[in-house]
Amino acid sequence: MGNNLFYKALAGLSTVGVLVIAASLVVPIVSPKGNDLEESIAKTQQELKKARNDALGEVKAFRKDALDDVSTARKEALSEVKAARAASLKAIQKAQGTNKERIWLVVRVGGYNSGGWSDMPVALEKIEMESLEQCELQGALWVASKNIANRDYLTGFECLEGK
């Protein structure tokens, strides 16, 4: 029975402790200091609004800095692309031989034959070739052609180098 009394006393003390703690929390809310609580809530709300505005200002400043950095990086990248493009075009032109002289096949139809000057007018045409060898081959084909060469007029060619 002694143990039972001990547990009853312990339960009573616990209940009293809980009531004291609850009363200490409820009393300031119900007491005349309740107006102070409303004032502190209003003050806290103002501080939160100010903190929010400060945070928004920092976000806007960070955003502006980030956009400026992106714009600068974009301009630098664009200038690098332009420089690379110009260098590539120069390399392509150099590889294609744009600055060197070209080979031209000049073909002729008409002119002087064994009987004297032909009544047919002389016609000249120039055709760009890739190499001197190709020019000479195509010129030989031109002169040897049975479809074009006729005994009534002369055909001829010349390979020239020039721009």
* Tokens 């000049």, residue located: 106
Tokens of 161: 């180098």
Give which of 125, 127, 117 is closest to 153, Cα–Cα: 117
Q: 138 pLDDT exceeds 90?
A: yes
Mean pLDDT of the chain: 80
Q: Are 107 and 125 in contact (CB under 8 A)?
A: yes
Strands (E) across the chain are located at 102-109, 112-113, 116-117, 123-129, 155-162
pLDDT of residue 101: 76
Question: How far is the C-alpha of 28 from the C-alpha of 16, rounded, in Å?
Answer: 19
Planar angle of CA 151, 157, 160, nearest 5 degrees: 170
Residue range 9-68, pLDDT digits in tens: 777 777 877 777 777 776 555 555 556 888 888 888 898 888 888 888 888 888 999 899
Is the Cα dihedral 107, 112, 114, 119 positive or negative?
positive
Q: To the nearest whole percent, how much of the chain has pLDDT over 90?
A: 23
Between 154 and 157, whose confidence is greater? 157
